[in-house]
Amino acid sequence: MQTVGILGGGQLARMLALAGAPLGLRFLVVDSAIEACASQVAPLVRADWRDFDALADFARRIDVATFDFENVPAETAQWLAGRTRVFPNPGALAVSQDRLAEKLLFRDVGLGTPAFATVDSRADLEAAINTVGLPCVLKTRRLGYDGKGQRVLRSRADADSAWQLLGSSPLILEAFIPFTREVSVIGVRSRSGEFRHYPLTRNWHVDGILSVSLAPAPDATALEHAAIAHARAIAERLDYVGAFALELFDVDGQLLGNEIAPRVHNSGHWTIEGAVCSQFENHLRAVLDLPLGDTSARGVSVMLNWVGALPEAAAILREAGAHWHDYGKDSRAGRKVGHATVCADEDATLRLRLESVGQALGREWQVAPAIEALTQ
Ligand code: AMP
């Protein structure tokens, strides 16, 4: 019986623990919040990232440590790696915590990025606008997620307010990309170097937060080839172990790297019911050095995120091919509190199911982009 320790006790840790139960795994979760939702399904060590006494005890009780949260301080990950096995490795975590390091890595493996410049002063911001052009996006280099820590600049007049909002942290200015679509690839690499990937996923964001994922992404064969080659090159360069997401902008058939998430990812939640072996199970297999599972899609799936509050469950539960996930979290604006995955054997059936779910929930706006993509 092996015990997997997870740093961070949110919905990702919760779904990892649920995926690991059939494999006979035990879990121990660290989080500073007593209400961390993974604690409903796995024991919780309540500690913050600098509580080294609690973390030493945690390290003694587990066989391997992994992450639900990528912003665990790199020093904590490094410290822990001196006491137990930690996957992904702290170096890989550090790269993904810094938007600059991430972009340099992308360019190193031949993946283009939006034009960018670092910004450490108000004068840098003016110079960066000159180099990058308008419109552009000012982002904190660290600790940004779900559209937090970023501001779009449409004209020079927006620079002052963006600087006032974000200027206390190291920043990066990126060109605003008028992408054709957003896609992601979930890759997984095991301790022995085995690499697998899920089919390319198409994603739609609302206010910087993932709203809908459709997998496999329609009409994406050529893109998929390139996306997977990049994902694999990044994983090998980082000696990465575990599941990860590479988020990409498709600009008229050319891919640009946006970011990597060094963990299981929201755009891979559809794999729970929509793939033969889910990203969660494969992450566990990877960090435990077990053979990786089949990443093929079973038919076609759409994941709908519930942000802020849950809609009525019954409308999902009564729909054929639909699956309900309630993370056990309190409602709060901007917070991911659950998702649903709607699966079908073929596009036409999935469209009908999405129409039915959209109407029943009064969320036609949310299902519309996926229905449109399935119709083309
Ligand atoms: P991020 O936290 O960087 O993944 O940004 C969240 C979302 O904001 C992305 O998925 C995009 O929808 C949008 N976004 C971020 N950066 C850019 C960019 N440079 N150009 C256009 N849209 C962007």
Ligand 1 centre to CA of 242 (Å) is 24
CB atoms within 10 A of CB 45: 20
The pLDDT, as a whole number, for residue 259 is 95
- With H, G, I as helix, E, B as strand and everything else as coil, classify residue 314: helix
Chain centroid, CA 87 distance in Å: 16
Q: 15: CA distance to ligand 1 center in Å?
A: 26
Distance of CA 147 from the midpoint of ligand 1 (Å)? 7
| Residue 147 pLDDT exceeds 90 | no
Ligand 1 pocket mutation, candidates 103, 137, 141, 266, criterion most atoms within 8 A of CB: 137
Ligand 1 contact via 208 beta carbon (within 6 Å):
yes
Alpha helix (H) residue ranges in the chain? 11-20, 52-61, 74-81, 90-96, 99-108, 122-132, 159-166, 221-238, 271-274, 279-287, 313-317, 347-361, 364-375
Residue 246: pLDDT band with limits 50, 70, 90: very high
Closest Cα to residue 6, out of 23, 32, 31, 25? Answer: 31
Q: What is the mean pLDDT of the chain?
A: 96
Check pocket membership of 70 for ligand 1, CB cut-off 6 A. no
pLDDT bucket at 90, cuts 50 / 70 / 90: very high
* pLDDT number for residue 1: 87
- For residues 115 and 94, what is the distance between their CA atoms, to the nearest angstrom? 22
Q: Which two tokens stand for residue 2?
A: 């092996």
Residue with tokens 């961390």: 36
The answer to whether 213 and 198 have CB atoms below 8 angstroms apart is no
Q: Going by CA atoms, what residue is nearest to atom 11 of ligand 1?
A: 208
In the block, which residue shows the tokens 């309540």? 46
- The ligand 1 atom nearest the CA atom of 139: 3
**Is 7:66 a contact under the CB 8 Å cutoff?**
yes
296 within 8 A of 271, measured Cβ to Cβ: no
Instruction: Decide if pLDDT at 212 tops 80.
Output: yes
Ligand 1 atom with least separation from CA of 176: 20
Tell whether ligand 1 has an atom less than 6 A from the beta carbon of residue 369: no
Q: Indicate whether residue 177 lines ligand 1 (CB < 6 A).
A: yes
> How much distance in Å is there from the Cα of 213 to the middle of ligand 1?
15
pLDDT attached to residue 146 = 66
How much distance in Å is there from the Cα of 108 to the middle of ligand 1? 21
144 lines ligand 1 (CB under 6 A): yes
Domain coordinates of the chain in residue numbers? 3-86, 115-175, 181-375
H or E segment to which residue 243 belongs: strand 242-251
Q: What is the pLDDT confidence band of residue 373, given thresholds at 50, 70 and 90?
A: very high
- Please write the tens of the pLDDT for every residue from 323-343: 999 999 999 999 999 999 999
Q: To the nearest 10°, the Cα dihedral for 172, 88, 11, 210? A: 40
Ligand 1 centroid, distance to 12 Cα (angstroms): 21
Closest CA to 321 of 347, 296, 293: 347
Question: Domain 181-375 is in which class?
Answer: alpha beta
From ligand 1's centre to the CA of 110, what distance in Å? 20
CATH 3.40.50.20 fits 3-86, yes or no: yes
Give the separation between CA 285 and CA 294, rounded to whole angstroms: 12
DSSP SS3 for 215: strand
* Ligand 1 proximity of 319 Cβ (cutoff 6 Å): no
174 lines ligand 1 (CB under 6 A): yes
Task: For the chain, give percent helix, strand, coil, nearest 5.
Answer: 35, 30, 35
Instruction: Quote the pLDDT of residue 119.
Output: 96
Question: For residue 144, what pLDDT band results from cuts at 50, 70 and 90?
Answer: confident
Please tell me the distance between residue 70's alpha carbon and the centre of ligand 1 in angstroms.
18
CA distances from 108 to 116, 243, 247, 371 (A): 15, 21, 17, 37
Place of tokens 């600049």: 153
Residues 6+ apart with CB under 8 A from 158: 151, 152
Q: State residue 143's pLDDT score.
A: 85
On whether the 115-175 domain is CATH 3.30.1490.20, my answer is yes
Q: Does position 148 have pLDDT exceeding 80, yes or no? A: no
